[in-house]
Amino acid sequence: MHQTRLRLGLSHLRAHLFQHNLIVNPTCQFCGLEPETTSHYILKCPTYTVHRVRFLMGITNLLDAPYIAGLNDDKIVQLFLHGDPPSSHETNENIISLAQSFIVKVQELNSGTEASFPFFISNIFRSVKHKNIAFRMFLSHI
């Protein structure tokens, strides 16, 4: 479910919230270096380095290392969110499982902060002002 929210741009990431006019600043609240996009979250935020390394090491065990080394950032994000189309079903299950594990570990790391799960819809529903906006956005993506 978490990868789906990232794919749809409906996650807790600040760039997604900013895109839907729900916050005024998309900058990552953990590092402050750049907007908290899906790519930043998965590949760049220094806060998640340990979990990222575990994810990438797991991927390297599943796929050919030179193949992975040849992927640009966008392709790695796609691998994280969708798996690797040329690979077997079992390999893709393992890739998605590694991605899910990354998300859960980051969630545990962030627990007690605004960026922790549940994702933005439940956070927005707390605000009466944004109920209608969030509901319309939710319905438009079903």
In 3D space, the residue among 83, 107, 93 whose CA is nearest the CA of residue 11 turns out to be 107
Per residue in 43-67, is it b (16+ CB within 10 Å) or e — as a string? bbbebbeebbeebbebbeebbeeee
Q: What are phi and psi of 117, to 5 degrees?
A: -70, 155
Q: Where are the domains of the chain?
A: 2-140
CA distance 72 to 88: 22
CA distance 122 to 78: 26
Per-position pLDDT tens, the chain of length 142:
688 999 999 998 999 999 999 999 999 999 999 999 999 999 999 999 999 999 999 999 999 888 888 999 999 999 999 999 999 999 999 999 999 999 999 988 887 544 433 333 334 343 433 444 544 444 444 4
CA distances from 40 to 66, 100, 123 (A): 23, 17, 21
Q: What is the pTM of this model?
A: 0.74
